Amino acid sequence: YPSGNLAIIVTRERDQLICTVQEDELRTAKIRALFQSDGRSTCYYPNGDEWINMNIQGGQYLDQAGNRVRRWMWPNLSPGPHVPLSPIFISLNRHVGVRILAQDKIFVSFLAMGRQAKLNMGTKVQASAASQLPPPTRLGEDELLLLAFRVRILQLFDRMRGCLNFPSSEQWNKIQPPTYLMTQAVKILELCMAADISEELRSSIRAIVNA
């Protein structure tokens, strides 16, 4: 970002690529979107609520109250009729936008200081007629809270290391947390969406991992 904060990170985890979009903030690395080369992607509202969720079968678009506004299926995944995708464009903030045209045409665009970068994070992942997505892991309230606090504690330790490395400078505030911590935070948020818990607890867990 023009502020110097990191906007987009592309990393490799095992056999897949992961693109993470962060908010333009100094002290936190709030995740606004996550795109994976295995076909799974999620975009989040500024408050951390799920906005768009996609997998190898299709996707859904939610409003800020959590109501499903749109749902679609990628073509050629099943012999029966499917709900087609109407093009979607959202602005994560004033610098980063996401355009969804097809399974293999999901564009993340970044515009700042008169220059633009565009990444195609779409992928052509096919699912056979007999295959099914594995059921999401469902954890209880205590397990989810423990996972969230674990990530928060690791984030604090990472900031303490930064403070020790730069004791007389404010530069440690700009150091981004390790990629594995950001990935763990996103996975916890995904588990919360799949778990049978109250919206109040989901909000508390989002606040813990995004603090």
* pLDDT band, very low/low/confident/very high, at 33 (cuts 50, 70, 90): very high
List beta partners, residue 97: 91, 109
Averaged pLDDT, 7-13: 86
Overall pTM > 0.75: no
Query: What confidence tens digit (pLDDT) does each residue in 109-147 have?
Result: 999 988 999 999 888 765 544 344 444 445 677 888 888
Phi, psi for residue 208 in degrees, rounded to 5: -65, -50
* pLDDT band, very low/low/confident/very high, at 155 (cuts 50, 70, 90): confident
Averaged pLDDT, 191-195: 76
10 Å CB burial of residue 116 (0-12, 13-18, 19+) is exposed
Is residue 98 scored above 60 in pLDDT?
yes
- How do the domains of the chain map onto residue ranges? 6-120, 141-210
Yes or no: say if 22 and 34 are a contact pair by the CB < 8 Å rule: no
Please report where in the chains the tokens 């100094």 appear, as a residue. 26
Model pLDDT, residue 137: 47
What number of other Cβ atoms are within 10 A of residue 195's Cβ? 19
Please report where in the chains the tokens 């969406």 appear, as a residue. 193
Model pLDDT, residue 135: 46
Q: Using the 8-state DSSP alphabet, how is residue 133 labeled?
A: P
Residue 76 CB partners (closer than 8 Å, separation 6+): 126
Residue 202 CB partners (closer than 8 Å, separation 6+): 192, 193
Residue 172 CB partners (closer than 8 Å, separation 6+): 159, 162, 163, 165, 166
* pLDDT band, very low/low/confident/very high, at 166 (cuts 50, 70, 90): low
Query: What's the Cα-to-Cα distance from 73 to each of 55, 108, 156, rounded to whole Å?
Result: 9, 21, 41
Query: What confidence tens digit (pLDDT) does each residue in 63-96 have?
Result: 888 888 888 888 765 444 456 678 999 999 999 9
Model pLDDT, residue 173: 57
